[in-house]
Structure 1
């Protein structure tokens, strides 16, 4: 039998190794924290991809009305979201674990809330020094983790050419889109690029469905070529449905009627399954949202919250749950988004509290046993769908202690070709 002291010593040695290999996941916020948004110089979406040296702005609302204190912590990660070997002073100039100092209380709204702003760099956190993957975590006054969000910082060292093609898989040619890449290194000397270069392809700012760890198939001079048949293919999906309630007191785009109770209730038009219907082009913002309000100067604190009533005309799915899906909660599948089946009306129904604005959403099915997401089960998958693709290129040189993010490219499927 192992001596207790030896066992404890082994535990102390192994625990850091076990924790270091854990893959970081975003933490979903509690119900009283809403409307988490990122803004930067180059992106206004909910997935910030910054050039090294650019500033980042994180905003969110706390609906308690107590002017609570929140603190932020920033961590650096490898390509696969395991913690990097860098110590904090190597990737962060200044301090983190600081209180968020800038906030304002809502004005003239039924829902009382405080709107928080965190800008980086700031007086405490003066710079982020390395490229790569980052996670920002927000804690309350009791050191409890409220939520976390991923973001990326890249160095402009490689050109990333992105083209969207129809799938080369004949079985899925009507439902999938394939992404081809050409990475030009601009004279940067890359050691053994077939092993040290990795690419990540993100569809519509959704990290949950991203294709990772793609390696170049071959090199041509200073170009790395990716032309996979199936490995870089995404389901095409369908255009997002949308609604707008910037005038909370009147029916608007997608809103059938309203009701005032403790808050305004907005009842959306009932949707139907689009899986077996012809594809129709309908411009969207690829699942994102934008806070907006009429007759107000500052949407951050003057936009109100409303109870949004979603409904889907659909027969009950026995083995799957139905969820409302969009970037209003970073495409998370959680109890908040789960719809309940109403046998009397043969509808799935859900009520979600959202800030006034313009929202994209769709309905997805989730397997009750495996948790596998089927984005096209209700909306369908079409090769014609307009999707946005972002490509991140990582490089880990021989002997390096972290993955550098050396290139960023972007394309849409509007100009998709065979």
Structure 2
């Protein structure tokens, strides 16, 4: 079964409703548009664009996996439409024949899949989810969201930053978009809906409550001040390209252990973020070489005595799907004065943060951040069309833009 208890509700800005997080045996997941690992998982309908799925399984034996797809509305409810409306071909891709690593423990097999393909094509636009299952047992292991857009119409977008407007008097961003919709949209005020997402955290996508259709053929929409995104959302960069003491990120390295162990420099409350950091991916950039290694990486966080075990401090990052769970909770070391935890991570570059649970059992990943400095944020604007002739949401347009 999945290593996570699937009855739980996982706290993550990345996970969307009905998404299954990866088990602990699956590492270094990637899903991006072919061409660059920094591309979002968005392709254009009826185009030659491809998506790349890649991941490692911690095992010394090559396995086989079954990849299937479901279509969803803009709220990630599964669409109530026949499969042959959104897929051409059999809804199944078999993934096997992975590449085994060549150096050190733990053993892992790297898998790579390109789609759509001659076996399977997408026939409609919208929100999609891919599901990876173990072929022999049929157990579903994890799922990932992606998007197929029609690129119908045109769009321009910008961001308005309001200073001292957040709950902690931080700056907030209000994205604005102007969409020129195609002629087949007859009743835009009823059939169009608009959404924004920040930094590819699909689970925190926000619907625009403010829109204006007064100009013929155009729709203007934006977020309210109450629903705005934090403009100071920051990240800590982690460079694990080389497993060696570098005096910058890695202060100690034990290659003789199994797995090898790395100790990072301590992170200090509000002083560890990297200004102007644009991540460009929710998965980081793990190495794909068969000689790339994994290590048990020890994180140490100094909070100045502000937090206790309840609610506790959590590590969230590219390497754990930004999930706030007990597996990622830090323990307080009274001797060192640090909150500490370890995570098994592959060579590469990543970003991460520290978070706490808020009063509603949600995630507060800004309380331990720089509350003053405005950071450059990535935004994506989505336009959905409730097609009156069919019972599903078409994704008409997607635009990626930055706050600066």
* TM exceeding 0.5: yes
In structure 2, the CA distance between the partners of 1:102 and 1:403, relative to structure 1 (3 Å rule), is: farther
Q: Secondary structure at the match of 1:301?
A: coil
Instruction: After TM superposition, give the deviation of residue 232 of structure 1 in Å.
Output: 4.6
In structure 1, distance between residues paired with 2:238 and 2:386? 44
Q: Where does residue 51 of structure 1 map in the other structure? A: 44
In structure 2, distance between residues paired with 1:121 and 1:383? 42
Instruction: After TM superposition, give the deviation of residue 196 of structure 1 in Å.
Output: 1.3
**1:82-138 deviation per Cα after TM superposition (whole angstroms, max 9, x unaligned):** 11122111211111234213421112233211111121123432x111110111111
In structure 1, distance between residues paired with 2:398 and 2:331? 41
Q: Which structure's residues are more often helix, by fraction?
A: 1
Q: Secondary structure at the match of 1:216?
A: strand
Q: Where does residue 266 of structure 1 map in the other structure? A: 262
Number of equivalences: 381
In structure 2, distance between residues paired with 1:342 and 1:245? 24
The reply on whether 1:165 has 2:182 as its aligned counterpart is: no
In structure 2, the CA distance between the partners of 1:93 and 1:101, relative to structure 1 (3 Å rule), is: farther
In structure 1, distance between residues paired with 2:183 and 2:365? 40
In structure 2, the CA distance between the partners of 1:196 and 1:121, relative to structure 1 (3 Å rule), is: same
Tell me if structure 1 keeps the 8 A contact 2:241–2:349: yes
In structure 2, distance between residues paired with 1:70 and 1:106? 19
| Structure 2: gaps spanning 5 or more residues | 1-15
In structure 1, distance between residues paired with 2:164 and 2:285? 36
Tell me if structure 2 keeps the 8 A contact 1:180–1:232: no
Q: Where does residue 347 of structure 1 map in the other structure? A: 338
RMSD between aligned alpha carbons?
Answer: 2.5
| Structure 1: gaps spanning 5 or more residues | 1-22, 293-298
Structure 1 range deviating more: 353-362 or 336-345: 336-345
The reply on whether 1:183 has 2:172 as its aligned counterpart is: no
Tell me if structure 2 keeps the 8 A contact 1:322–1:363: yes
Q: Which of 130, 151, 154 matches 1:136?
A: 130
In structure 2, the CA distance between the partners of 1:353 and 1:403, relative to structure 1 (3 Å rule), is: same
Instruction: After TM superposition, give the deviation of residue 150 of structure 1 in Å.
Output: 0.7
**1:274-293 deviation per Cα after TM superposition (whole angstroms, max 9, x unaligned):** 1xx7997353426651123x
Q: Where does residue 16 of structure 1 map in the other structure? A: none
Tell me if structure 2 keeps the 8 A contact 1:243–1:253: no
Structure 1 range deviating more: 243-252 or 174-183: 243-252
Instruction: After TM superposition, give the deviation of residue 341 of structure 1 in Å.
Output: 1.9
**1:292-342 deviation per Cα after TM superposition (whole angstroms, max 9, x unaligned):** 3xxxxxx34221111111111012336423211223333222333221122
In structure 2, distance between residues paired with 1:228 and 1:213? 5
In structure 1, distance between residues paired with 2:140 and 2:335? 41
